Amino acid sequence: MNKRLNRTNRNYIIMGLCAILVIMGVGYAAFQSQLKISGTSNIASNFLVKITGIEVSSKSGGAADKPDVTTYNDTSATFGTTLQSPGDSITYDITIENQGTIDAVLKTISKTDASNSAILFETSGVNEGDPLNVGETATMQVKVTYNTAVTSQPADLDSTLKVDLTYEQGNGSIVGPGPGDILTTEDLKDLVVTEGDGLYADEYEPGKYTYKGVNPNNYITFNNEMWRIISIGADNTLKIMRNESIDNMSFDSGDSNAWETSDIKTYLNDTYLPTITINKDKIVSHTWSIGGVTYNNTDLAGQINDENGTQSQNASVGTITASEYLRANTNKEQCENMNINNTNRATCLTTNWMYGIVPSGGYLWTISPDDGNNRFVIVVEGSSSYAGYMPGLTARVSVAGISPTLYLTSSITLTGDGTEGNPYVITN
């Protein structure tokens, strides 16, 4: 499993923004740069990586530092120089120190260059995968050179370099909420992972986070029952589903797959909703993605777009979409879209926590209609021979269960660590 940061480390990414403005004349350039590193102000003392110094390490030609400009603090540094003629260069050393109690590792380095041919940028000294253990320092060099190939006044006088350094916990342990810690939805995002069970940044919908894997820590008590968190929306609402299905019922006795007029929508919002008596005020009335999907399709991105293409009227309770079932799987290679999930169903159900909610020997309704037949609704199958398969099922049959699904307000606060033995508990 990928390493997780402490919950208070909301912005654990160290972002170095080096904005370089070069005003060039014939044989003369004035260079000034600001390096801004943000995120450390929210890092707790047990994970603390920050800037501790910046200085000129080398100069050539007529390059000179501007001491009245070059300054730094924990999160930012500003430096400048003058360049007299092509070939002049200056190199700045940016010192980064791990002052916390958790070893770190440089996960990624990303650079964006404005590609001005008159101004050359180089960075060196740190590489992806480099450890930064407790008490250690790392030094990144930023070198700016007046291109020796320049023989006349350049038309473009400006250039910008952005350097992002992403540090993450490197000691292999899991750091989660402590006993009694009060968590917000922003704190949950601090536990994002890139492999194994856990919360992932959703690659299909910007700003959304989705729980994936066979048993991620997404348990939450609601109405004195065990539920599971499906996702955190871009608006910070929590979308949750009951951890077991309720009695088998038809989607619609009239055999229509239209959610807005379905029996199941009426049941959930008129009959089931009044049975919720604890934390009912945390439910947010919401629109639901009810667009039709192509059965056995090979394009998850297209399916999500189709689902989101039609939104229902506001309702308090609904069901999962077909894509939410697929996105709960960590095995993208074999299970990412409906077609390969159906082909590899025996494997896919072993890496998808939602399958545990599918009724044994039956089906679980989704909210997604089959766009090829107005009587069919996509379901997840729980029978032994086709377990994990996602067929279309006629809406009038009453052999499928449903897991009530709803949205909780973005202002919610929680305690717990999301495990089954210590689920998240709503405190406000």
pLDDT in tens, 182-207: 999 999 998 898 888 999 999 999 99
| 378: in domain | yes
Backbone angles phi and psi of 201, in degrees to 5: -65, 125
**pLDDT confidence of residue 45:** 37
Q: Confidence band (pLDDT; 50, 70, 90) for 112?
A: low
Which of 141, 169, 197 terminates a domain? The answer is: 169
Domain residues for the domain of 200 are 185-415
Which residue blocks in 257-298 are alpha helix, DSSP H?
Answer: 263-266
Model confidence at 361: pLDDT above 50: yes
**pLDDT confidence of residue 176:** 60
Strands of 267-371, DSSP E: 283-284, 363-369
**pLDDT confidence of residue 28:** 36
**pLDDT confidence of residue 38:** 30
pLDDT higher for 356 or 151? 356
Asked if 272 and 158 sit in the same domain, the reply is no
Q: Please state the length of the chain.
A: 428
| 68: in domain | yes
Residue found under tokens 């968190």 = 229
pLDDT higher for 230 or 65? 230
pTM: 0.64
Contact 351, 330 (CB under 8 A): yes
Q: How far is CA 324 from CA 47, 212, 363, in A?
A: 33, 10, 16
For residues 162 and 218, what is the distance between their CA atoms, to the nearest angstrom? 36
Across residues 311-329, what is the average pLDDT?
Answer: 98
First vs last C-alpha separation in the chain = 31
Asked if 206 and 353 sit in the same domain, the reply is yes
Which of 145, 169, 193 terminates a domain? The answer is: 169
pLDDT higher for 270 or 81? 270
Task: Identify residue 127 by its one-letter amino acid code.
Answer: N
Share of the chain above pLDDT 70, in %: 79
Asked if 149 and 208 sit in the same domain, the reply is no
Specify the number of domains making up the chain.
2
Pairing of strands 283-284, 238-242: unpaired
| 289: in domain | yes
Across residues 250-255, what is the average pLDDT?
Answer: 98
| 174: in domain | no
Model confidence at 351: pLDDT above 90: yes
Which residue blocks in 128-253 are alpha helix, DSSP H?
Answer: 185-189
pLDDT higher for 357 or 11? 357
Across residues 258-265, what is the average pLDDT?
Answer: 98
129 class by beta-carbon count within 10 Å (0-12 exposed, 13-18 middle, 19+ buried): exposed
| 179: in domain | no
Q: Which of 108-112, 348-352, 402-406 has the lowest average pLDDT?
A: 108-112
| 95: in domain | yes
Asked if 120 and 191 sit in the same domain, the reply is no
Asked if 292 and 267 sit in the same domain, the reply is yes
| 273: in domain | yes
* Lookup: tokens for 333: 């290679």
**pLDDT confidence of residue 237:** 97
Asked if 271 and 355 sit in the same domain, the reply is yes
Model confidence at 120: pLDDT above 90: no
**pLDDT confidence of residue 84:** 72
Q: Which of 171-175, 195-199, 367-371 has the lowest average pLDDT?
A: 171-175
- Neighbouring-strand partners of residue 375: none
Model confidence at 3: pLDDT above 70: no
Asked if 398 and 252 sit in the same domain, the reply is yes
Asked if 305 and 409 sit in the same domain, the reply is yes
How many C-beta atoms surround the C-beta of residue 20 within 10 A? 23
Which of 120, 137, 169 terminates a domain? The answer is: 169
Asked if 155 and 47 sit in the same domain, the reply is yes
For residues 286 and 18, what is the distance between their CA atoms, to the nearest angstrom? 42
**pLDDT confidence of residue 104:** 81
| 8: in domain | no
Across residues 149-167, what is the average pLDDT?
Answer: 68
For residues 304 and 203, what is the distance between their CA atoms, to the nearest angstrom? 11
Asked if 46 and 194 sit in the same domain, the reply is no
Asked if 163 and 210 sit in the same domain, the reply is no
For residues 200 and 193, what is the distance between their CA atoms, to the nearest angstrom? 6
- Neighbouring-strand partners of residue 31: 22, 81
For residues 226 and 221, what is the distance between their CA atoms, to the nearest angstrom? 5
Asked if 325 and 408 sit in the same domain, the reply is yes
Closest by Cα among 145, 141, 176 to 56: 141
pLDDT higher for 202 or 41? 202
Work out whether the CA dihedral 259, 263, 265, 266 comes out positive or negative.
Answer: positive
Q: Which of 4-8, 121-125, 166-170, 282-286 has the lowest average pLDDT?
A: 4-8
